[in-house]
Every structure is written in structure tokens, then in C-alpha cells.
Amino acid sequence: MAEPSAATQSPSISSSSSGAEPSAPGGGGSSGACPALGTKSCSSSCAVHDLIFWRDVKKTGFVFGTTLIMLLSLAAFSVISVVSYLILALLSVTISFRIYKSVIQAVQKSEEGHPFKAYLDVDITLSSEAFHNYMNAAMVHINRALKLIIRLFLVEDLVDSLKLAVFMWLMTYVGAVFNGITLLILAELLVFSVPIVYEKYKTQIDHYVGIARDQTKSIVEKIQAKLPGIAKKKAE
């Protein structure tokens, strides 16, 4: 008699457990938002990774060519001229296409409507929740940068402050040779070339980088050993 009762109880247990499974996603709605946000940020970072590693040659080539042409235009012309020409070019394309479609519809006597209706109906409003999420993420980086600036300028670590001073001294020579637009052009060339080169020659590059890192570390340790304040701090 015990076996039938156990058999009758097992369906109820399994039904209750199966009923609990659908309620879990609904009950954990707030916790499920974080994985969704993480997935979105992960997908965006993966898209940037695929872009600079030339996974899609056409897409990367379009982005690289467009940004490079824009930077070269800014190097030759003023910002106002470049922006004005870009807006005029975009308006020329859209107005010409709008007139062309209107003529085609008048000749064919069709009622297709506005050619950009699908894009006009797209909701591009930024919700307050998304705005606060972006602001919170930006505030984390801003606070981190402020702490780093205070730590460097108030000489919390003498070696780090000296590194900043040497770097800024070198940047004075760089600024005497290059302007801001030229540095941006060089930065774009490096962003779209260094990752793919590193991916192909990773082993050799890691070997030489490791050697340089060890030598730099030994030099920094020798400098720290000769500075009395740093040596005393390490001894404590």
C-alpha cells in the first residue's frame, strides 16, 4: 500500500518542481537585467574586437577608410568646412533619392509612400533608465581617473609621478613635431594594424616584450633601491 501512495506523491512533487521552474525567471526579473546588460556590453566589445581584427574585411575597410578620409580632411581643412561638406553630401544623396522615388511613383502611379518611412518610424529616443546606466558607467571611469590624477600629482608614489613627468617631457617633443590630427591619424593606423600583426606574430612579440619588461623591471627596482623614501617604505 505504501508504493501506490509514493507513486501518487511523485507526480505532485514533479509538477510542483516543474511549476517552480517557469516562475524563476519571472521572480528574478531584477537579477536577470544584469546578465542582459552584461551580454549587451559583451556583444559591443566583441563587435569592436572583430572590427579591429579585420574579421569582416568589407565592414572594417569601410570604417577604416571613412574615418581616415575624415581625419585627412580635418588635417587639410577646418572643422566647420569638413562638417559642412559632409552634411551637404548627405543631403544631396537623400534629397536626390527622395525626388527620384517621387518621380518613379508619379510615372508608375503607385502609392509606395515615403522612401524613408521605415527609418522615420524607428524609435531613437533614449530612455531615462538607459541614460542613467550610461551615466553610472561614465562616473565609474571619471572617479577612477580623478583618483589617479590626485595620486600622481600629490606624489603618493614617487616612481609613478616620475614616470608621468618623463612621459610628459617626451610628449613635448612629440607635440613639437606632430599636431593633434596627425596623432589621431597615427593612432588609427596603429589600431587597425597592430592587433592583426600581433595576432600573426604573437609568439615572437611576446618573447621580446617579456625581455624588455624584465629589463625595465630591473632598472626600476635599482632606482627604487637608491631612493631612501621608497626603500624605507618597502622595509616597513
The model's pTM is 0.56
Residue 99: closest CA among 85, 87, 116:
116
Number of neighbours of residue 192 by Cβ within 10 angstroms: 19
Question: Measured between alpha carbons, how far is 130 from 123 in angstroms, rounded to an integer?
Answer: 14
Side chain identity at residue 45, one-letter code = S
Mean pLDDT of 8-14: 41
Mean pLDDT of 38-56: 76
Mean pLDDT of 126-153: 93
Q: Rg (Cα) of the chain, in Å, rounded? A: 30
Residue 110 carries which DSSP code? Answer: -
Q: Are 219 and 212 in contact (CB under 8 A)?
A: no
Q: Are 185 and 72 in contact (CB under 8 A)?
A: yes
What angle do the packed helices 158-177 and 228-235 form, to 10 degrees? 140
Backbone CA torsion sign across 222, 227, 228, 231: negative
Cell of 21: 521552474
**Least confident stretch, 80-94, 117-131, 216-230:** 216-230
Higher pLDDT, 183 or 17: 183
Cell of 165: 613627468
How far, CA to CA in Å, does 87 sit from each of 65, 71, 93, 113, 206?
18, 16, 10, 25, 45
Cell of 190: 596603429
- Decide if pLDDT at 144 tops 90: yes
Cell of 168: 610628459
Give the pLDDT band (50/70/90) at residue 233: low
Q: Which residues lie below 8 Å from residue 130, measured CB to CB, with a gap of 6+?
A: none
Percent of the chain topping pLDDT 70: 77
**Domain map of the chain by residue range?**
43-110
